[in-house]
Amino acid sequence: MSVLFVRMRILSLAMLAIATGCSTATPQSAEVDRGAPDAATESPSGASIIAIVDDNGALVTRLPDGSGEVEISGAPDVGSVATPVWSPDGSKLAWSVLISLDDDARQPVIVVADADGANPIRTQTDELAFFLAWDPTATQLATLGPGVSGQVDLGFVDGGGAATEDVASGRGLFVGWDVAGQSLAAHVGLDLEVIGASGATVELSNPLGGFSAPTWLDESLFLVAVADPEAGQRLVAVDAAGVEAATYAAARGLMRWTIDDSRSRVALAVSAGVSIDPTPEVIPASVSATAPRATLAGIDADESLDTGLYLIDLADGSTEQLTTFPGLWWTFDASGDRLLVLEPLRDAPGTRWVVWEDGRRVFEGEPVGLTLAMRGAYVPFAAQWDASIDLWSPTGDAFTYAAVDSAGIETIWVQAVEEGAEPVSIGPGQFSTWSPSG
């Protein structure tokens, strides 16, 4: 594999170590019967299925009404199944887990199986992977796991179980597949390495700034943040030769973002520092910033965005501010029309889910206390995980999440996005992700 190296500077990611562990008011809902489908509550999203790490650490799937549970992987002897991810077509699941050997030793493995758990293929790894990402063609996985001296190792596993380990190593490693599944952009230490069949070593005119996962816009253009001596840093599209093709925003602070499936809109979270006001303020539509941003490098410092959450149209460069707080998780539904955001409460510890559509808050959930897995392994790395897992249903009418119930039990919830809808408990669990296919 050839590697494209782009020098970069990393700002502190301390803002990602958020405090969402405090208990708050929790959803009140009776747990539905997980037996026959006709005995359970009607599903808001048809026959699509949800992969769940249950209370025993096993991987199971359930229908969105809590019925039809299928055991994919039994409870491990040590710990829990980790990092379950659906293939883009929903036909396979992959996860990492420790298995017991005959001599009582523990072996980390990555498992790839059919959606019903059939035909599992186990690949041994040196350490337990803590992140998996399918390529868009569902033929191979990028894997991240612990390396030596606190570093992170990047590897690959193909559909047949063949592994390539230690492709790259570094601190603060984040990855993103290109739209064709031919190249992987890896934010590694002080470099951005683009690993694929073609590549070259280039130098950007501006060093890279503070961001996490790089995003490909097409086969030769990707989205990164670059340092700017006047504006702090800018969100730019860079081509394979390292040339800045467009500038979409400037800000003084950490940038994190997610992109919709059509690669036409970006939700950009700007964090100015660790001392920002934790109380989100909704920006009225009448004062939203909708003037087009510059489409070429050279944005002025006085155009720098303040701390907050923004929607950017990549086609015309228009920018709309939604709130003055960047939020903790951001994910578009399959249509790109709805944006699910996890935001902190305004007057108490804890979080709530809100949904934006057409620049308006169309749904606001009740306060939730997320599970330990969500707080520790997922939310701090939301910009990375969003490209690999789905909280949204395929139809965009509901989403799933893991949070404690009123008794403090870690529970999987399905929330329909409609006025007055209550979250539905579909059984105990630590983490959930929706299949991308209905």
261 closest CA partner among 49, 88, 399, 418: 88
pLDDT of residue 283: 37
pLDDT attached to residue 30: 39
Model confidence, pTM: 0.83
Place of tokens 């992959």: 94
> Has residue 335 got a pLDDT over 80?
yes
- Highest average pLDDT, of 28-42, 141-155, 209-223, comes from 141-155
Q: Name the band, by pLDDT with cuts 50, 70 and 90, for residue 197.
A: low
Measured in residues, the chain has a length of 438
What's domain 2-9+24-434's superfamily in CATH? YVTN repeat-like/Quinoprotein amine dehydrogenase (2.130.10.10)
What percentage of the chain exceeds 90 in pLDDT? 52
Task: Tell me how far apart the alpha carbons of residues 400 and 80 are, in angstroms, rounded to a whole number.
Answer: 20
Measure the CA–CA gap between 114 and 120, rounded to whole angstroms. Answer: 7
Q: What percent of the chain has pLDDT over 70?
A: 79
pLDDT in tens, 217-270: 988 888 988 888 777 888 999 887 788 888 999 988 889 999 999 999 999 999
pLDDT at 22 over 60: no
Comparing C-alpha atoms, which of 384, 335, 333, 390 is closest to residue 89?
390
Give the residue among 66, 138, 42, 44 at the shortest CA–CA distance from 395.
44
Q: Can you tell me the distance from the alpha carbon of 312 to that of 318, in angstroms, rounded to the nearest whole number?
A: 6
Among 230-239, 391-400, 421-430, which stretch is predicted with the lowest mean pLDDT?
230-239
Q: What is the pLDDT of residues 263-310, one digit of tens each?
A: 999 999 998 643 222 233 333 332 223 323 333 233 333 456 888 999
Q: How far is Cα 220 from Cα 188, in angstroms, rounded to an integer? A: 19
What are the tens digits of pLDDT across the range 101-140?
A: 877 788 999 999 999 999 999 999 999 999 999 999 999 9
pLDDT value, residue 47: 54
pLDDT given at position 131: 96
**In this predicted structure, what is the pLDDT of residue 220?**
81
| DSSP code per residue over 22-36 | S-------PPPP-S-
User: What's the mean pLDDT in 142-148?
Assistant: 92
